[in-house]
Amino acid sequence: MIPAGLPFSPTPPSAQQPALLISNGTAEDLIGARLARLLRLPVRYSPLVGEGRAYAAVPGAVRVGRVLRLPSGGFPFGSLENLRADLKAGLVGESLGQWQDAVRGARGAGVVVVVGDAYALMVGTLAARRAGIPLIHVQPLLSAQYLEGLSVRGAMQELNALGANLPMPYELRLAAGAHAVFVRDAATARYYAARGVAARWAGSFAMDVLAAPERDLSRWTAGKPVLALIPGSREDHRQSLPLMLLAAARLPELAALVAWPHDWEAVSLPPGWTLDIQSETEALAVGGGVQLPVLRGAFGAIAHAADVAIGTAGTANEQLAGLGKPVVAFATSGPQFTMGFARRQGRLLGEALSVVEANPDALAAEIRALHHDGPRRARAALAGLTRIGPAGALGVIAEEVQRAAEG
């Protein structure tokens, strides 16, 4: 069945052939959508996890195929429970259907762009080969830095994340057949090159999609140092936000701000706390003798204003670190920010990330220690800046996509 709304009439010779973007995750959708807005081409997009809402901001973009909503939020191998829930939700059958949708979506296109992991690359390779068009792979997940200090025992403890720590042989083979491959840092480009894949590093994808400050926060901060609370876009927030609020209540010397990406109905509060909704974008978490702002649509402003952060997020933690802001984290029961994920992110970010116990006292103590230790903050800032790197990749990639489509 042809996906509804997708134009499959033959492309006139004089018309521009569209780019098909395949992405599989929230961060990957953000990167794909930002890339799409830089292209001088019609855009089709195939989000393999969720609805791909980030693409709604791309004028004229057309979604290809069905929507796959997973209980794990795209982390089926994060735990056995995640995998069971996703299988029950139809992971296998719906995924096979998405492969067929991607093949159809590549018909009449000029280039396939994959933003994601080995699975997305497999889908994109199939679609590009069937259509006989170039494939460009943007790999924002793997980093050779995940291997730093990883012992054999540690690797055995993270078997479920093996393909997230380093590229598997089959991913390298698929990448070797791509027109171009872009990776997230210079260390990973060197890792690929040593294995015969001419991958390029042109800048940080995470920093490319970091929003500029959306609003003035001065009425919330009153000149105090800012503590950013980043519960993340995954369901981990239900466990992590209450702990963050309790920790912030113990730190009156800091102005705590919650960057909230969900609806107000999703806010989870500590026992006895209440949520005072001020508007569509502002609310107050009230309890423990404090009123803490919870702000929607303000992540860029909060990230840039922050002096330090508590985060249980993937890309958002990396963006804070990339701005030179130390991040304190703690493991949740999932689906994303499990202890294994926290260990991996710690290897990626080095001194920019510290992981403590999941209790308010430990969080508050770590934040206070960072706040009063200037040399440690400086080391954390340097680690984040150097390990994440500057923005600038997507402009380079857009030009490569343009050339591949036109060639």
* Residue pLDDT, tens place only, 183-225: 999 999 999 999 999 999 999 999 999 999 999 999 999 899 9
Do 170 and 65 lie in one domain? The reply is: yes
Do 190 and 120 lie in one domain? The reply is: yes
234-279 pLDDT tens trace = 899 999 999 999 999 999 999 999 999 999 999 999 999 999 999 9
In a domain, 8, yes or no: no
| CA distances from residue 212 to 208, 298, 305, 342 in whole angstroms, order as listed | 10, 9, 11, 27
Range of the domain at 342: 218-388
CB half-sphere exposure, 202, CA atoms < 13 A: 19
Do 233 and 180 lie in one domain? The reply is: no
Burial class (CB in 10 A: 0-12, 13-18, 19+), 21: buried
Do 329 and 402 lie in one domain? The reply is: no
In a domain, 14, yes or no: no
Between CA 305 and CA 324 the distance in angstroms is: 11
| 3 pLDDT above the threshold of 90 | no
The pTM of the full predicted model, rounded to 2 decimals, is 0.85
In a domain, 49, yes or no: yes
In CATH, what number is assigned to the domain containing residue 89? 3.40.50.2000
How many domains in the chain?
A: 2
Please give the backbone phi and psi of residue 356, each rounded to the nearest 5 degrees, phi first. Answer: -125, 180
Do 64 and 48 lie in one domain? The reply is: yes
In a domain, 294, yes or no: yes
Between CA 322 and CA 207 the distance in angstroms is: 7
For strands 282-287 and 274-277, give the pairing. antiparallel
Do 384 and 398 lie in one domain? The reply is: no
Q: Decide if 111 contacts 19 (C-beta within 8 A).
A: yes
Do 26 and 109 lie in one domain? The reply is: yes
Do 190 and 238 lie in one domain? The reply is: no
| 160 pLDDT above the threshold of 80 | no
Q: Decide if 405 contacts 17 (C-beta within 8 A).
A: yes
In a domain, 4, yes or no: no
